[in-house]
Structure 1
Amino acid sequence: MVVLITGGAKSGKSTFAEKYAAKLGTKGIYIATSPVFDEELQERVRLHQQRREMSAIGWETIEESYELNAVLRDLAGNKELWETGTVVLVDCLILWLSNWLLRYEQDRAEERIDEQLTLLEQTLCNFPGTLLLVSNEVGYGIVPDYPLGRNFRDLAGIMNQRMAAVSDRVFLVTAGIPIELKSREFTI
């Protein structure tokens, strides 16, 4: 089962994802995609780690800023994980996307990110266990006044749509309240 959990900054997405993981499984693998390059990020990471340490589920952390597809494929091939009730949580897709965008900003970024998203879709479609993906909704605010910001906003929206399409469940978290969207989807 693949679950996408999205919402705004500080909406409660990660907290909900961790609690949901504890409900779904007995062990957890937490894939952290954020590079830690300043003190403020280091503090955020520390708070996330502290919260996971107090969780009902035991967490193993894998830090990977770029090669998310390779990590997920490796985990998918480990049959023992799925027999022991392990849940995989990726936090967060937006940071993973921004890592790739900054790496390829001047070198066919959209094309290269599309390739990464296609690989991720394929990985998700074949994932044998429970996988929770945390992402952000970034398009609710003002239009960024610089090209990189607009490109990021657009790619984030495209990524979230594509990941939602291959997810079994999609939650929107606002003000700490999760609402499951996919079961309420209006189809034409």
Structure 2
Amino acid sequence: MSEISDITLVLGHTASGKSLWAEEEIALMRGRKKYVATSRLLDSEMHKKAALHAARRGDDWRVHEESVDLAAVCATFGTGDAVLVDCATMWLTNLMMDDVDWEPRAEAWLAAMHASTARFVVVSNDVGGGVTPDNTMARRFQRMQGALNQRLAAAADRVFLVTAGLPLRLK
């Protein structure tokens, strides 16, 4: 793995302000602003949320839509790119719904970020702080998300927990 990578992980619960905080972090970085959108827009609520996020970011961001192969898209970025991946939770949901093994894809994604000279900010939900879900699929997802977050945190140079719009540096 390369020592030149720069990865920041931003964790938070739903509506915690993590995406806005991550966008502000990217805005502080010099270079070309890139946004990797992982969500599949399957309903009107998701379309509205994506439109709000896009309007908030403005026109100086280049959007890359990738719901499954984050390794491939992250490998295309390099020096001078400040990349926001939003979010790991939607990406993991896509893989789970497609019945695809997430672990090899996560390892390839991490390797691609580490091999890159771009700077990455990755947003992910902390889904373990709430109530234990009442069904098998939700509990399985919660365990998978926790494992993914641990891998992302281990690979990251910095990790922040955002709650009520306020960041707390964990690493």
TM-score range normalised by the length of the shorter chain? over 0.9
SS in 2 for 1:141: coil
Q: Percent identity?
A: 38
Does the CA contact (< 8 Å) of 2:71 and 2:110 recur in 1? no
- Decide which structure has the larger Cα Rg and report it: 1
Shift of 1:24: 1.4
Alignment partner of 1:157 is 2:159: no
Question: How many Å apart are 1:134 and its aligned residue?
Answer: 0.5
- 1:2 aligned residue (3, 7, 14): 7
Residue 15 of structure 1: how far off its partner (Å): 0.6
Aligned to 1:79: none
Is it true that 1:96 corresponds to 2:91 in the alignment?
A: yes
> Distance between the aligned counterparts of 1:158 and 1:23, measured in 2?
30
Residue 18 of structure 2 corresponds to 13
CA drift of 1:127 comes to: 2.2
Counterpart of 2:83, as a letter, is V
Q: Does the CA contact (< 8 Å) of 1:124 and 1:166 recur in 2?
A: no
Q: How does 1:1-188 map to 2 (within 5 A)?
A: 1-53=6-58, 58-76=60-78, 82=79, 85-104=80-99, 112-182=101-171
Query: 3-state DSSP class of the match of 1:149?
Result: helix
Cα distance in 2 for partners of 1:173, 1:63 equals 24
Give the distance between the partners of 2:37 and 2:92, measured in 1 at CA.
13
Letter in 2 for 1:75: F
Cα root mean square deviation, aligned: 1.2
Aligned length: 166
Give the C-alpha shift of residue 126 in structure 1: 1.6
- Matched position secondary structure for 2:76: helix
Distance in 2 between residues matched to 1:4 and 1:123, nearest whole Å: 15
Q: In structure 1, how many angstroms separate the alpha carbons of the residues matched to 2:8 and 2:116?
A: 11
In 1, Cα distance between equivalents of 2:157 and 2:116: 12
CA distance in 1, matches of 2:7, 2:20: 18
SS of residue matched to 2:24: helix
Does the 8 Å contact 2:77/2:118 carry over to 1?
A: no
Letter in 2 for 1:29: K
- Unaligned regions of 5+ residues in structure 2, if any? 1-5
Q: Which runs of 4+ in 1 moved over 6 A?
A: none
> Structure 1 or 2: larger helix share?
1
